A and B are shown apart, each in its own frame.
Chain A
Amino acid sequence: NAGVTQTPKFQVLKTGQSMTLQCAQDMNHEYMSWYRQDPGMGLRLIHYSVGAGITDQGEVPNGYNVSRSTTEDFPLRLLSAAPSQTSVYFCASSYSGGSLANIQYFGAGTRLSVL
Chain B
Amino acid sequence: SQQGEEDPQALSIQEGENATMNCSYKTSINNLQWYRQNSGRGLVHLILIRSNEREKHSGRLRVTLDTSKKSSSLLITASRAADTASYFCATDAEEGGSEKLVFGKGTKLTVNP
A interface residues with partner B (beta carbon < 8 Å): 4, 31-33, 35, 40-45, 48-50, 58-59, 90, 92, 94-96, 101-109
Contacts of A90 in B (CB 8 A): 42-43
Beyond known contacts A102-B98, A109-B40: 9 more, CB 8 A cutoff: A42-B3, A43-B43, A90-B43, A102-B33, A102-B92, A103-B98, A104-B101, A108-B42, A109-B42
Closest 4 CB pairs of A and B: A106-B42, A102-B98, A42-B105, A31-B99
B16 → chain A, closest Cβ, in Å? 29
Q: Is the CB of A49 within 8 A of B99?
A: yes
What residue of chain A has the Cβ atom nearest to residue B50's Cβ?
Answer: A102
Q: What are 11 contact pairs spanning A and B, CB under 8 A?
A: A31-B99, A33-B99, A42-B88, A48-B100, A58-B100, A59-B102, A90-B43, A95-B98, A102-B30, A105-B45, A108-B42
Report whether B98 and A42 are in contact in the complex, using a CB–CB cutoff of 8 Å. Answer: no
Residues on B close to A: CB < 8 A? 1, 3, 30-31, 33, 35, 40-45, 48, 88, 90, 92, 97-106
Contact (Cβ within 8 A) A42 B43: no
Docked Cα-Cα span, A42 to B37, in Å, equals: 11
| B105:A102 contact, CB within 8 angstroms | no
Task: A108 to B33: give the CA distance in the assembly, Å.
Answer: 19
Give the residue name and chain of the B residue nearest to A42 (CB): B105
A50 with B42, Cβ < 8 A, contacts A43-B88, A59-B1, A102-B33 known? no
On chain A, the residues within 8 Å of B3 by CB distance are: 42
| Nearest-Cβ distance from residue B102 to partner chain A, whole angstroms | 7
- Closest CB-CB distance, A17 to chain B, in whole Å? 25
Given contacts A90-B43, A104-B45, A105-B45, contact A50 B99 (CB under 8 A): yes
A94–B45 alpha-carbon span in the complex (Å):
11
Q: Are B33 and A109 in contact (CB under 8 A)?
A: no
Q: Are A40 and B105 in contact (CB under 8 A)?
A: yes
Query: How far apart sit A58 and B103, CA to CA, in the bound complex (Å)?
Result: 12
Give chain B nearest CB distance to A48 CB in angstroms.
Answer: 5
- Give complex CA distance A99, B21 in Å: 26
* A4–B102 alpha-carbon span in the complex (Å): 20
